[in-house]
Each structure stands twice: as C-alpha cells, then as structure tokens.
Structure 1
Amino acid sequence: MTVSKNTVNHTSKNGDNFQEPIQANKPEPFVSESGKPVLVFDGTLDLKRTIKILEAGKPVLIKAFYSDGLLLLRELQMHLKRKLDTTSFQDQRSFRSAYQKLSNLILIGIVDHKLAVKKAPSIGWLEKLYPENSDFLLPFPQIQGLNSAWQWYQNGITIPVLRNKVHPYYGTYFPTRFDHLILFDNWLKRYEGPKKSAIDVGVGSGILSLQMIKHGFQKVFATDNNPNSIIGLTESMADTKLSRKIELDYGSLFGKWEKQTELIVFNPPWLPETHSPDKNDEAIYYGQNLFSDFFSGAKQRLLPEGKLVIIFSNLARITKSTKEHPVEKELASGGRFQLEKCLKKTVKFASDKTKRDPEWRTTEEVELWVLTH
C-alpha cells in the first residue's frame, strides 16, 4: 500500500488529542549541480578512470545492468583499502567515511518507481516512500540500503527473545546481535515489582517494549525521535491488542510523557559522536548532552520505588573511542541515582567473516545497569 501521509497522535497543552502528520526519513533524490554533468557507466568504461572521476567529485550514472553498480562499488572498496590503513577501529571509521562520500556519487535512475537498469531487484520502498515522485535519481548505496530494508520488512527478522518476527520499517534500528536482549529478558523474568506501566526511551523497532508486554506489563509508553520508528510501529500494530498496550510518541527522550512510572528502560547508542551523524547513524552514536538530559528527565518521571534500567556496553572503551562511561559518571557525580546492580554478559565471539577487529572483540561485554532513587 502506498502511504502518502503519516500521522501520529499528539497531546496539546490543554490535554486535547490531535493528529499531526510526520514525514519519514528517506534518501534524498540526487540533483545534479550546474557544471557537473553525470557521466554514464555501462560496464565498458575503465574502472580506474571512473574512480578518478569519483575522487574529483563528479557523479557517475549506472545505466545498463544493476551488476555494473556492484562491480564499481567493489573496485572502489579495494582502491580505498589499498590507499588507506584499516588496522585500528578509528582507521575503519575513517575508511567507512571515505567510502560513503565517494560511493554516494554512484547513481542509479528510477522510472515509474522502478530501477531503470536491467536485472534489478524490485524495491517496494520506492513507491511507499516516494508516492508523489516516480522518476528521480538516487545514490547506488542508498538503493542497496532500500533493497535490504525491503527484504527485512517483507520477510521479518527473528529475535530470540520474542515469539513473533519483527518487520522493521526503513531507516529503523534493529539489532543484529542479541546478547543484550537476552540479558534484559533474564532480568525481566526475575523482576518482582509492579507492572502497571513502563517507559521505553528510544523504542526503535519495538523489541524492548514487546519484551515488557510479554512479561506482563500492562502499558508501555514508548518514544523515538526517528519518525520512521513511530510510523513503522504504528503501521505494524494497527488495530491489534498491542496498539492498546504500547502507546507511541514521536519526540526526543521522554517526549510528552510526564507521569511517573515504576520502570524506565533505555538502550542508548553505545559510541560517542565524533562528527555530525547521518540520520540513520543516530541510533549508533550519542551526542554530548544525551545522557545528562536523559538522567534529568528520568529523575522526574521515576516513582520513588521505581527502577531505571540502562542497557549499555563497554564498546566505546575497548575501541578507545572514549575513557568515559556515562552511567558511571552519573553515579559518581550526578547525585540523582544509586546503583542497585550491574549485570554483564560477554558477547559471543564473531565469526571469521566479521570485519571487526578480533583483538578488542574478545573483550566486549554488554551491560545492564539497574539504578534507583
């Protein structure tokens, strides 16, 4: 079904409910700048010369086969690996940044919501996200992302701690590793507090909220500052029982929720922001004020006997991204919370195919922090 407008529920200052349209995050169509003609790549153009053209900042259009784009991307990756060091975690981030910049100059045309090349996949997002624009250009890596996201959305993702698959909307974070979810599920099994309500800050694809409902919570108030998350969950829950148990709000941190609750759950990004992030990176990197704002808001909304659960990791420390641990910093100097317990679980060792550095990967742990007033 084509969606031309999405609405979410909001509450006005006088308490009236109303619906407000929100726009989904999506790749922006490419507009050629004056004086920068698009060079056509049909598989016959010399690859090395094409890469030099990309490095000069000039766009290249894939015109014949979808596989031509894949070929050019592979050659670009190999070129950058020969050129750049990728030994450390920081080097890998620099490599990804360079690759992202150049690869997004490789374009593909869309005509009537279909890719205008031969042997291309069918991607439903092109109609769903661009109902009023049937002919345009997109960077090839964005097409790859849309294609993968459509497969996940259509086929669903199996999550070990849930009974049913989740169907993540485009641009919505979902986990590819599950150690932290298992840690949270085990904690929920032992939780003996009241289960009238909870707040899930940064709901993403809804997994933590679904876990809490599974373990008997009557109501979960869930927020996210990513419109795609709210649009996707609103669509997937529709008129089911879940839509009455999980109430959504599009907003930062706690959004419109002001009432106190017995449980607040937060699975924040695990790495500090080092540059202005892409919209799709906001679930991965945290900004300078995120945790101080979160703890301040949580203090106001947690009932006197309530619990604050933060799901985190030692990833930033072992990759030397920062020496500072935001939860430890709050406990040491915030004066708002005290530690009840901290549970840790070693992350399963990655496969040989992983691109992560095994030297630090073997010491990675996920953490579940339980704080009280």
Structure 2
Amino acid sequence: MALDIQINKPAPIPLKSEIAVYNQETELAETIKLLEAEKPVLITAYYSNGLVLLKALKTHLKKKFPNKSFQEQRAYRAEYHTLSNRVLAEIQDHKLIVKKAPEIGWFKKLYPELSNFLFPFPQIQGLNSSWQWYENGISIPVLRNKIHPYYGTYFPTRFDHLELFDKWLKRYEGAKKNAIDIGFGSGILSLQLVQHGFQKVFGTDINPNAIVGLTEFMGNTKLSRKIELEYTSLFGNFKKQTELIVFNPPWLPETQDSDGIDAAIYYNEELFPDFFEAAKKHLLPEGKVILLFSNLAHITNETKAHPIETELLKEGRFKLDRCYKKRVQTASEKTKRDQHWRDSEEVELWVLSHK
C-alpha cells in the first residue's frame, strides 16, 4: 500500500535563548518550583541529571496524590505528565549532547530534516525504550517470531487476552477465507489469524504509526500479501462480507480528563454502537464477531455499564454464542502502583453471531 500519511511524533522544540538549567549542583526544590510555574528547565552535563530531577518530581507529587485509588493514580500521572514535559534536553546532529546519553535512532528516522532542537526528557525516555523494542524485538508467547513495534504503536505487555484468543482459534472450525481485524495496533491479532490459516486479513487502524510500522515489518514477505492494511476507523472502505470480525477495543470509558497519555485504552460513547452497526452489515450469515475485552472498568469503578452486554440486551443485532473468561496474572511485585484490584481482573473473549 502507498504510505502517503503523516505519522504521529512528538513536536521538537526550537532552541531557546533564555532557559533555566539543571545540573548536579542545582537545587532540586527550586527547580520543581520553576516547573510548577510553567517554566521550562534544560538538563545539562549528564543524562543522569534528568533522571534525578524526574525522580525528585515523582517524590514531590506523591505527597500531593496518595496514589491509593485508580482515580488518584490517573490524577498523579496527568500532573506528572504536565510537569515532567517541561524538563528538556538538547539534540544536536540527531544525538543528545549531554554526556553518557543513550543512542536513539528515532531522532534520525523521525526528524531527518532537523539537526538542532530541544526535546522533553520524558519523551526522550519513551523514544529510548521504543528504539530498544524496535531494534531488538519483543517476544509474544502466541507468535512464532518477535514483533518490532514502531514508535507510537500500542503493543501489549500482558498476554492473557492473546492466549485466550489463541485457544479459541485452535478450536475454530469455520471458514478461513478472510477476516477483518479492527484497530490492529502492532498487528498481533492479524499475525495470529494468518498463523492459524486465514488466507487474507484486512486490518484497519486510526493510528498512522501502526500502518507504517506493520507495513515496514512485513516488507515484501508473504505476510504483505496476506495482510492488507487501511488507515481508517472501523471498517473503512472494506465492502465485502466476511466470516470473522475481530476487535480488541479500548477497555475503559473516556472521561473528561482523558488525554493522550492512555489513549489506547479509553473508548468514547460512540465507538461500540458504531462498531456493532457496521459489523452487522459486514458479517456473513454464518460468521462470527470476536471481541477481546476486560472487566477492568467495573472493578475500578469507572462504570457499571458493559458495552457488549448493553448491545446484546438492547439492540437485538447479535446473539451471544459464548463468553470465555481468564483471570489476569498478578501484577509484578516490582510495580509501584497500588493494584489491589488486579486480584479480581479478568479478560473476556466474546463470541457473537447474527440474531
């Protein structure tokens, strides 16, 4: 496919003539006050100085946000996001100029036309992690080969729902001519479908980075002939009916303070009604709709409503064949968030057919 699309990437910041600096001799408390006063701060000397400042900022904010409830965790992350992105570092010739900084290939790949600019330090951390994942690849238990997620593309860090889908695919006895993967992200579900014998998979996503990343990953291999991608929402220009529609939607409802920090896991109120309306038209008479979901919103008191249950009870378009559930593995002991609610979290695989 032609890739005449603009990818999402952090906006570089022009060099500033006057800006406060932070190094190992600077007072941390005074620097944090500058950040709270909406003043940018430039990291100088060593890369580690940026890490020290961000650690101090987290300690400062934890006194303000106890971080006990899911809502407090979200408020803490939002405030940290705002303040930490005022911490800047300088890029010159696609490299960080501070000492002992990591090599990050994204600077050259994403900003080939720029040579000297500033960049928020948390974004630098994100680019660094992303580059390591992209370069080294990530092993996914349900796939034979590693994936190499492109910058700004969602990929899972837990695999319970993927394992649930893989078990279902092993039992699936229907036709395997084609399938549609809505919001394919890093392409894992599409790759699972091909791995289990589907001849053709049509994938859509509203994230241009997902399109660019999976297209680059497939290259000119056989996968590029089995998986066809479109930069669009829901079903896009795909007009044919299909035997299988797969959708792994966001798991939490959008709120007033939702923003780009967790965009991959929040859904607006139109998403599910629009999906089910379109799915009804695109599904063959004997076809199946597969939705991968979670009880996360319910156990964190975000909402009592379940969008799939609402569809089945009120709209009359689909019937439930079966709902498979799997208890989510306990959060890592290394996590610093209070995640007591993880003990009751389950992932869900819903199998629907025409009513």
TM-score when normalising by structure 1: 0.92
Distance 1:369-1:330 versus aligned 2 partners, 3 A rule: same
Unaligned runs of 5+ in 1: 1-8, 10-18
SS in 2 for 1:362: helix
- 1-structure distance, mates of 2:87, 2:221: 42
- 2-structure distance, mates of 1:113, 1:96: 29
Structure-2 residue corresponding to 1:229: 210
CA contact (8 A) 2:67 2:337 kept: no
Q: Report how far residue 100 of structure 1 moved.
A: 0.3
Structure-2 residue corresponding to 1:24: 7
Task: Please give the per-residue CA displacement for 1:24-79, whole angstroms capped at 9, x wherever unaligned.
Answer: 1111112479xx94211122110000000100000000121100000000000000
SS in 1 for 2:168: helix
Structure-2 residue corresponding to 1:290: 271
SS in 1 for 2:229: strand
CA contact (8 A) 1:171 1:280 kept: no
Q: Report how far residue 221 of structure 1 moved.
A: 0.2
Q: Report how far residue 355 of structure 1 moved.
A: 3.3
Which amino acid in the other structure matches residue 86 of structure 2? L
CA contact (8 A) 2:325 2:346 kept: yes
CA contact (8 A) 1:260 1:303 kept: yes
CA contact (8 A) 2:3 2:212 kept: no
Q: Report how far residue 20 of structure 1 moved.
A: 5.5
SS in 2 for 1:283: helix
- 1-structure distance, mates of 2:3, 2:58: 43
- 1-structure distance, mates of 2:177, 2:117: 49
Task: Please give the per-residue CA displacement for 1:202-229, whole angstroms capped at 9, x wherever unaligned.
Answer: 0100000010111100000001100000
Structure-1 residue corresponding to 2:127: 146
- 1-structure distance, mates of 2:33, 2:79: 14
Structure-2 residue corresponding to 1:311: 292
TM-score when normalising by structure 2: 0.97
- The reply to whether residue 188 of structure 1 matches residue 169 of structure 2 is yes
Within-5 A mapping of 1:285-364: 285-364=266-345
- 1-structure distance, mates of 2:194, 2:338: 37
CA contact (8 A) 1:103 1:141 kept: yes
Distance 1:97-1:358 versus aligned 2 partners, 3 A rule: closer
SS in 2 for 1:369: strand
- 1-structure distance, mates of 2:260, 2:236: 19
Identity in percent: 66
Within-5 A mapping of 1:229-308: 229-275=210-256, 277-279=258-260, 281-308=262-289
- 2-structure distance, mates of 1:250, 1:68: 40
- The reply to whether residue 163 of structure 1 matches residue 144 of structure 2 is yes
Q: 47-56 or 347-356: which moved more?
A: 347-356
Distance 1:370-1:188 versus aligned 2 partners, 3 A rule: same
- Choose which of 36, 43, 48 in structure 1 pairs with 2:24: 43
- The reply to whether residue 132 of structure 1 matches residue 102 of structure 2 is no
Q: 344-353 or 303-312: which moved more?
A: 344-353
- Choose which of 47, 63, 71 in structure 1 pairs with 2:44: 63
Q: How many residues align?
A: 354
Q: Report how far residue 255 of structure 1 moved.
A: 1.7
- 2-structure distance, mates of 1:257, 1:330: 23
- 1-structure distance, mates of 2:337, 2:279: 34
Distance 1:280-1:263 versus aligned 2 partners, 3 A rule: farther
- 2-structure distance, mates of 1:113, 1:336: 53
Task: Please give the per-residue CA displacement for 1:88-108, whole angstroms capped at 9, x wherever unaligned.
Answer: 000000000000000000001
CA contact (8 A) 1:25 1:279 kept: no
Unaligned runs of 5+ in 2: none
Q: Report how far residue 351 of structure 1 moved.
A: 2.2
